[in-house]
Amino acid sequence: MIQNDEILDIVDENDCIIGQKKRSEIYSQRLCNFRVVNAFIVNSLGQLWIPRRSTHKSIFPLCLDVSMGGHVETRETYEYALQRELKEELNLELNILNVRLLGYLAPHQYQVSAFMKIYEIKLDCSPEYNKNDFIESFWLSPDDLIKWLYGGEPAKSDLLKLVQIFYQD
């Protein structure tokens, strides 16, 4: 069993709940029919705040990541998971942020790892991130981030695709 082995909802192709499984089972079975939230922090220069995951992360250790990402736990909405994860990972309160929904992606349509809602947060300062989640961070233009990723910088599997979908001209 992995640390923090949450129970996650399993959904059908229409994102309707059909059951629950432990996070460890979902990953060991390589399923993509679960829910996540992701967010990008963007400053007034159009740069993305991109953190590097810590060494003890069970998946993608030391990889670049979206500004905030997390699982939607059982009986949670995407929006509640966003609020919880912002507090846990970045010490930010959703109700005082300038947040907008960028989009909704389904794995069978976009070849992403899960059903996901992606949000954007306008913020000109680096958040006080949880040192258990991240070890460093960078402000990068979308083009510079894409260059880093094509240059071999290790990253979470959906990062390149999300930046290309939402931030590439």
Q: What's the rounded Cα separation, in Å, for the pair 34 and 51? A: 24
Would you list the DSSP string of 109-169?
HH--SSEEEEEEEE-SS-----TTTEEEEEEE-HHHHHHHHHTT--B-TTHHHHHHHHH--
Which CATH superfamily hosts domain 7-167? Nucleoside Triphosphate Pyrophosphohydrolase (3.90.79.10)
pLDDT for the residue numbered 157:
93
Q: What's the rounded Cα separation, in Å, for the pair 59 and 105? A: 21
pLDDT for the residue numbered 58:
85
Dump pLDDT digits (tens) for 73-108.
999 999 999 999 999 999 999 999 999 999 999 999
Residues 6 or more apart from 95 whose CB is under 8 A from it?
none
b/e map 154-164, b = 16+ CB within 10 Å:
ebbebbbebbe
Taking CA atoms, 84 is separated from 37, 53, 100, in Å, by 10, 18, 16
pLDDT of residue 2 exceeding 50: no
Dump pLDDT digits (tens) for 50-79.
999 999 998 899 999 999 999 999 999 999
* Segments making up each domain of the chain, as ranges: 7-167
Which residue type is seen at 128? E
Q: What's the rounded Cα separation, in Å, for the pair 131 and 88? A: 11
Q: What does the DSSP 8-state code read for residue 58? A: S
pLDDT for the residue numbered 1:
39
Q: Which residue has the tokens 């590439």?
A: 168
